[in-house]
A and B are shown apart, each in its own frame.
Chain A
């Protein structure tokens, strides 16, 4: 019987071979030279072996147009492509980039910025103050559809123009010469130089951009001014960057080539790292699989860096039972944050008893949390919590705990934390909190509409300043205060902080407001300050996670 099968098997084999050759032919046009592995670096004699850096991002950058970028991935790519007036250094402090000098007026509302004259666009045109004026006004123009336009609302009349009531001419930014830019602010903002490093403040090349909204969707139409140029953009697959030979400070740039692949799956990213296909994981450019982080940290292969983000739960302050401060406190105090971190989150996060993360800068060159530590805001104490809980229930006139649900957006990590937190409440307060997850879009809508009892939340910084975590999260008029926490005292403190006489005074008021909101009211439930776990191949230097937890690779080098 077997003998009879020889022929069809042979025939099939031929088919398979023929087919694989066909496939090979099909894919050969796609066969770009894959990133050459480190073969060339050890050629003893050559000192200038080309340096390549490779990493992954989880999704295709939604846009590389500075006016339209909103996400970390775009930001990470853009930091190599464009150069703003300032750039944040490794400590998160702004340093002059295209700007040569930044002068603030006495009242802190007028900035005069002198630009360097040797910066060029990738098409050879000089980078001038007009490019900045054009770029900012373009972002503010309602017809551009810029999501992050509000980042520019610190500038006089910017919001008016964006809302369609004012004109572009009224906006407080003007190029008074080819290399001088004058900016009028609404109110003094000592952190303005930091803001200038944000991607919304990047320049664009007018001739390239004007009337061509699709200019930044393909590699060959992008005109940029940064240390790198975009050589190739295979959508949904990879981006290839090369060193810009015309960059004004090209000696400070060491990488000749940067390959950014788009890989979503964490395990795949990790395996790519281990098989030497990429050089970096972490800080929004891939992440170490949660189950492996502990092992990697213990083996000393991964580093933990704190990130300017806080993980917290929102209480619905308008709804029974969380309209009662004692119940809120009981829920917060019965969470063992350290245990949550050690056993669930597992990336050496720092327990949060406040809202402003430790990597945010504070007054006098110190960190905010050094000057205003949050450790005394409240104590974790299960017995005390139980007592408060019963008092709170009595105040509400409740005999049985109502049905309460914790809402989180669909994700493995959030799920685990939620399960662990709910279990802690079950054990110490004897309450059963249900879990519900919603997919991102739905989740945001529910949260915004206040359709939750407890909701997971996370908040990251746009600029290195505590205002990000106070004004945005606990001010009653903030669009992000979804738990509707409202204390007039906090409101007044925060409003006053905006017009405070000095930066120190302003931060002090913010710290006071934060303390009231957490210590007295527990308007939200802080759990921990994020960290990012990063892994870097041996031999690389200067590739870091910046203060906000985004990969900063631009000034990296390879030994």
Chain B
């Protein structure tokens, strides 16, 4: 659309197609004139999106840092050093120390492990439940869909916060509890996405063909429909991860987070906010990396969406 302005004549579709041909040529050159599978095409499109790739590399960086920095660091995340509290960043403690003299860098990356773990597991649970539930809803349609959809709607109308808090009160606060609490209603959105996709796809020729060849419902759903609905599913997934990380941080703010001395970004931020005016590094580092992570997942998810949607292709 960017070229609408350049001329108001009716030949304006041309430059657009021009660009596209040009890029395809480049790709074909690199790939030795092989025709591309859908996935290769998507990958190439994704890799040409700079913002999305920035997001991707940030995620990789944070994941690698979360794994290796705690292994390599000379400090640990729990030993107190009461004579060395609230030190600003220095040569020994790159991110400074907190109010119990613990190394903030070590805790930030330990926290990264927890936060990423929560995000990934929550996303995975959403994915599995969502695909099964949404797949069945979408494929069978009719009465089955009606009933299952109603159930999902009821579940979805329960105040989310209420469920989470009640659960956390009933069960001991722990990582498991947090993940369960997030998953109780978290999967519904995914289920609806899958349902919408399946409904669109199930009448496509290949699905009908497979059906007429006697394939079972499960086979059609999982072999044919889900793979074709993977785009929106993946996109939703990349957006679930930051959501889960956020929710964990929010629960920590309410004091319902992970048990100390383990820290998550959420508990560190909650702690750091109170000290922000005099010991800003205690807030800065966990908040910075949390935001970076959320940012990265979001732009990557956006890029993924663009890459999957051929209509958005230029």
Contacts and interface: CB of A to CB of B under 8 A. Distances in A.
B80 A435 contact: no
A419 B100 contact: yes
Given A291-B279, A415-B260, A436 B80 contact: no
A351 to B, nearest CB: 15
Contact of B255 (A291, A410, A420): A410
B172 A436 contact: yes
A144 interface: no
Interface stretch (A188-196, A245-253, A372-380, A438-446): A438-446
Nearest to B5: A1
Residues of B in contact with A, size category = 20 to 34
Contacts of A442: 169
B274 interface: yes
Contacts of B85: 343
Contacts of B207: none
Contacts of A411: 255
A69 interface: no
Interface in A268-294: 289-292
A339 B82 contact: yes
B99 A291 contact: yes
B258 to A, nearest CB: 10
A118 B199 CA distance: 83
Given A1-B5, A415-B260, A267 B274 contact: yes
A267 B278 contact: no
A436 B260 CA distance: 8
Interface in B79-94: 79-80, 82-83, 85
A295 B82 CA distance: 17
A237 B117 CA distance: 40
Contacts of A543: none
A419 B107 CA distance: 14
A266 interface: yes
B265 to A, nearest CB: 16
Contacts of B79: 423
Contact of A416 (B78, B99, B256, B278): B99
Contacts of B99: 291, 344, 416
A419 B261 contact: yes
Contacts of B82: 339, 342-344, 420
Given A292-B278, A437-B173, A267 B80 contact: no
Contacts of A289: 274-275
Contact of A436 (B168, B259, B270): B259
B100 A344 contact: yes
A420 B100 contact: yes
Interface string B257-279: 00111000000001101110111
Interface size class of A (residues with CB under 8 A): 20 to 34
Contact of A290 (B100, B173, B274, B277): B274
A58 to B, nearest CB: 15
B172 A291 contact: no
Contacts of B169: 439, 441-442
Contact of B273 (A267, A339, A418): A267
Contact of A439 (B100, B256, B270): B256
B79, B256, B277 interface centre (most CB from chain A within 10 Å): B277
Contacts of B255: 410-412, 437, 439
Interface in A409-465: 410-412, 415-416, 418-420, 422-423, 435-439, 441-442
Contacts of A420: 80, 82, 100
Contacts of B172: 436, 438
A419 B274 contact: no
Contacts of A292: 277-278
A291 B283 CA distance: 13
A435 B261 contact: yes
A435 B278 CA distance: 28
A423 B274 contact: no
A412 B274 contact: yes
A419 B80 contact: yes
A447 to B, nearest CB: 15
Contacts of A415: 260
A410 B260 CA distance: 11
Interface string A322-355: 0000000000000000010011100000000000
Interface string B278-291: 11000000000000
A342 B82 CA distance: 9
A442 B173 CA distance: 11
A442 B99 CA distance: 28
A416 B274 contact: no
Instruction: From B80, B83, B169, B261, name the one whose CB has the most chain A CB atoms within 10 angstroms.
Output: B80
B260 A435 contact: yes
Given A344-B100, A410-B256, A436-B259, A291 B275 contact: yes
A325 to B, nearest CB: 28
Contacts of B279: 291
A439 B168 contact: yes
Nearest to B102: A419
Nearest to B1: A1
A435 B85 CA distance: 21
A251 B169 CA distance: 51
A437 B278 CA distance: 27
A439 B271 CA distance: 18
Specify which of A291, A412, A418, A441 lies most central, judged by the most chain B CB atoms within 10 Å of its CB.
Answer: A291
Contacts of A436: 172, 259
A359 to B, nearest CB: 27
A528 to B, nearest CB: 15
A439 B172 CA distance: 9
A277 B21 CA distance: 66
Contacts of B273: 267
Nearest to B275: A291
Contacts of B2: 1
Contacts of A416: 99-100
Contacts of A423: 78-80, 100
A342 B274 CA distance: 19
B136 to A, nearest CB: 37
A290 B271 CA distance: 11
Contacts of A4: 5
Given A412-B271, A435-B261, A438-B172, A295 B100 contact: no
A436 B261 CA distance: 10
B285 to A, nearest CB: 16
Contacts of A342: 82
9 contacts: A266-B274, A267-B273, A291-B278, A292-B278, A411-B255, A412-B271, A420-B80, A420-B100, A435-B260
Closest 9 pairs (CB-CB, A-B): A291-B275, A343-B82, A423-B80, A410-B255, A415-B260, A289-B274, A1-B5, A339-B82, A419-B261
Given A339-B82, A419-B260, A435-B261, 7 more contacts: A267-B274, A292-B277, A343-B82, A410-B256, A416-B99, A423-B78, A439-B173
